[in-house]
Amino acid sequence: MRDSVSRFLIQSLLASALICCLSVATFAQQTSNDESPAQTSSDTSNAAPGETEGEDATETVLMRTARFLGVTPGKTTLADVKEKLGDPRSEQVSSTSAVLEYQVGPFPKVEIFLLDDVVVSVLAQLNENRVPSDLAKELGWDSFKPVEIRNADEALGLAYPERGVLFTYAADSPRPRVAQILIEPLSAEMFLLRVEASPANQFSQQLADLERVLDFDPKNSEALWRGAKLLAITGKQNDALKLVKQAVRLSPDNDQYQLTQAKFTARAGDHKGAVVAVERLLERSNITASIRAAAELELGNLMTTGLNRDYKAAVEHHLAAVKAATPLVSDPDALTRHAAERVLVDAYLGAANDIAHGNWDRKSEVVPKWLRSAEELATGFVQNDSADPIMPLLVWRRTLEAYAAMDVEVVDVPVVVEAAQQTGNALIEESDDPIYKQHVRWELLQANFAALRVEQTRGRYSPALKYAGEAVRLVEELSNDRTANLQTRYMIGRLYFYVGSIYAINHKDHPEAVRWYERALPHFDGVLPKTDLYDTGIHGERFVSMGVSYWKADAGDEALKLTERGLDLMERATKAGLLDQQTLIVPYANLAEMHRVRGRSDEAEEFSAKVARLKDDQLQR
């Protein structure tokens, strides 16, 4: 996945020469009248004979292939090598390739590999094994972030993508010690390796490396796919969908890319298309166990969204995801294991939310069990297998969302919110990455929003306002990318609306309610997000509710407009089967009263007649 996404993240000026002080005394003596053994490909024409230029930490650093005794992989020719280093100790030459072997100063063996007359790599053996960090510091690379190259649980070396250099470890050393230095032209592969090995809380580094990968290889489908997932996390759903579509076009047989595209397609509003895509994937017999687990999870999630929600089918798919993922959490491959751990936790949470929203018996017994299992799994994976440390926070947030959908008292909300807050604060404190911190704050915002709903629906308005206050504070810290997202705007609008409704219903303070509604309304401009069309009727009821407060705050014109807008949404919802027609009695009655007070008798009688007809229908049922 190599595509060029931006060109501004990497600026640096590499020094013309880097002293490789591998055997400091011997090497210093050798280089007193010679060129430094390890240099970059930058120009050294201004350096005085016998001098080298160290890397200036105060300047930004460009990516440049390191060079060795004037030999630069990807540039230096066979003739240039012999001109600079003389005749080799041994030489193997074929029609298209060559290997030259030298002994240079403290390097007992230096192999130079050529293809089509151009150097492709230099492998220098050290005369003594070195501590990787010491060697990197002597080279001036201690400010770079290397990536460890591993084979299963064995560390093989340390790569520096910005220099095209690999420190290879001695096989017989009990601790990582550098035995050889391999220099190659800069490539996408090293940057992609660093993305794969990057800690979960390093979003900025991952995005920067993916941009570099795509600079080298604009058609690198893996980089496009990984970039799409990161963009989705930051709220750039449209850009994420574009990238993953490119990845699928380039690698149409990659099931993982197809599954991610289906997920993002649903978020863009094509729920039916997403369901069809995932079902097709699951119909195939040749998909891997990992893909099957992830696909069952996604299909379960899709069953709980869209206009036709089927919580029974959702539970079945979430249970299938649990069954498929459970054996994979013991897989020897860390990437497979961690992916399965995330699917397993999400599947437990999904089942809990299915039951919380659906028509099930014994909810108060079953839902807490699923949520406790998810919590135990997430905590155990983080503590025992270095899984993504944000998982417990996701569990706390989903726990609150599940209870917000229930009318029973089975959770101590302050305890759950405190656990979420402590986890989130710790993650923010431990990270130096601004994008990751934004992601954590977004999760905390959703958790506090869910806590507000739990407390509000139970009539506990004081704690509800407390959680609302924290959510509002977090809203003010959101990035522009996040607040530009339509789903985010819808949630922020609801947050302000719920605060206003508490002042209206509990405090009977309609002027204060209107102040909060004024903050909510700009976020309700336009149509609902396609992912939330199921809320059409409920959203209409919000406008009707706001109309009441505006009316009582002597803002009659706005009250009328809001009520009419709400009625329009509610009528659409009743026609779509999303709302009981009897709910229209409230807006009809409100509009009848508003028109009567304003002296519009015809309109008042019209709405009064509609109220009477609905009440008659209700009596005849």
Nearest residue to 594 (alpha-carbon basis) of 586, 602, 604, 584? 604
Q: Report the distance separating Cα 233 and Cα 235, nearest Å.
A: 5
Question: What's the confidence (pLDDT) of residue 32?
Answer: 32
Q: Is the confidence at residue 3, as pLDDT, over 80?
A: no
Q: What is the pLDDT of residues 70-102, one digit of tens each?
A: 999 999 999 999 999 999 999 999 999 999 999
Three-state SS for 353? helix
Identify the band that residue 35 occupies on the pLDDT scale cut at 50, 70 and 90: very low
Question: What's the confidence (pLDDT) of residue 16?
Answer: 26
Identify the band that residue 155 occupies on the pLDDT scale cut at 50, 70 and 90: confident
Could you tell me the two tokens for 240?
């994420």
Q: What number of residues does the chain have?
A: 621
Q: What is the pLDDT of residues 376-393, one digit of tens each?
A: 999 999 999 999 999 999
Identify the band that residue 545 occupies on the pLDDT scale cut at 50, 70 and 90: very high
Considering only 54-58, 253-257, 427-431, which range has the smallest mean pLDDT? 54-58
Nearest residue to 461 (alpha-carbon basis) of 416, 515, 498, 488? 498
Query: Do residues 129 and 187 make contact, with C-beta atoms less than 8 angstroms apart?
Result: no
Question: What's the confidence (pLDDT) of residue 21?
Answer: 34
Average pLDDT over every residue of 20-44? 35
Three-state SS for 111? strand
Higher pLDDT, 131 or 53: 131
Phi, psi of 235 (to 5 degrees): 100, 0
SS3 of 464-521: the string is HHHHHHHHHHHHCCCCHHHHCCHHHHHHHHHHHHHHHHHHHHCCCCHHHHHHHHHHHH
Higher pLDDT, 331 or 527: 331
Q: Report the distance separating Cα 103 and Cα 518, nearest Å.
A: 78
Q: Report the distance separating Cα 269 and Cα 263, nearest Å.
A: 10
Considering only 220-224, 406-410, 481-485, 487-491, which range has the smallest mean pLDDT? 406-410
CB pairs under 8 A, 24+ apart, for 342-346? 342/387, 342/388, 342/391, 343/293, 343/294, 343/297, 344/293, 344/377, 345/374, 345/377, 345/378, 345/381, 345/391, 345/394, 345/395, 346/297, 346/321, 346/394
Q: Is the confidence at residue 5, as pLDDT, over 80?
A: no
Question: What's the confidence (pLDDT) of residue 11?
Answer: 26
Nearest residue to 367 (alpha-carbon basis) of 330, 397, 334, 408? 408
Q: Is the confidence at residue 374, as pLDDT, over 80?
A: yes
Query: Within a 13 Å sphere around the CA of 527, how many CA atoms are in the beta-carbon half?
Result: 8
Average pLDDT over every residue of 49-58? 32
Question: What's the confidence (pLDDT) of residue 206?
Answer: 96
Q: Report the distance separating Cα 308 and Cα 272, nearest Å.
A: 10
The alpha carbon of residue 367 and the mean position of all alpha carbons in its chain are separated, in whole angstroms, by 27
Question: For a pLDDT cut of 90, what percent of the chain falls above it?
Answer: 78
Alpha helices in 55-153 (DSSP H): 78-85, 132-139
Q: What is the pLDDT of residues 551-565, one digit of tens each?
A: 999 999 999 999 999
Identify the band that residue 621 occupies on the pLDDT scale cut at 50, 70 and 90: low
Could you tell me the two tokens for 64?
């440049």
Q: Report the distance separating Cα 228 and Cα 567, nearest Å.
A: 39
Query: Do residues 107 and 127 make contact, with C-beta atoms less than 8 angstroms apart?
Result: yes
Average pLDDT over every residue of 348-365? 93
Question: For a pLDDT cut of 70, what percent of the chain falls above it?
Answer: 90
CA distances from residue 621 to 586, 588, 618 in whole angstroms, order as listed: 19, 20, 5
Strands (DSSP E) found in 34-89: 38-40, 66-68
Average pLDDT over every residue of 472-481? 92
Nearest residue to 400 (alpha-carbon basis) of 466, 437, 444, 345? 444
Higher pLDDT, 400 or 54: 400
Q: What is the pLDDT of residues 260-286, one digit of tens each?
A: 999 999 999 999 999 999 999 999 999
Q: What is the pLDDT of residues 436-455, one digit of tens each?
A: 999 999 999 999 999 999 99
Question: What's the confidence (pLDDT) of residue 522?
Answer: 96
Pairing of strands 154-160, 165-169: antiparallel
Domains of the chain are 67-200 (no CATH), 389-484 (no CATH), 486-621 (1.25.40.10)
Higher pLDDT, 349 or 480: 349
What's the chain's average pLDDT?
Answer: 88
| CB within 8 Å of 467: residues ≥ 6 apart | 417, 448, 449, 451, 452, 455
Q: Is the confidence at residue 165, as pLDDT, over 70?
A: yes
Q: Report the distance separating Cα 148 and Cα 167, nearest Å.
A: 9
Question: What's the confidence (pLDDT) of residue 505?
Answer: 94
Query: Do residues 286 and 266 make contact, with C-beta atoms less than 8 angstroms apart?
Result: no
* pTM of this structure: 0.85
Three-state SS for 18? strand
Give all strands of the β-sheet with 107-115 in edge-to-edge order: 90-93, 97-104, 107-115, 118-130, 178-183, 165-169, 154-160, 147-151
Question: What's the confidence (pLDDT) of residue 62?
Answer: 66
| CB within 8 Å of 144: residues ≥ 6 apart | 136, 160, 162, 163
Question: What's the confidence (pLDDT) of residue 361?
Answer: 86
Q: What is the pLDDT of residues 399-428, one digit of tens each?
A: 999 999 998 887 789 999 999 999 999 999
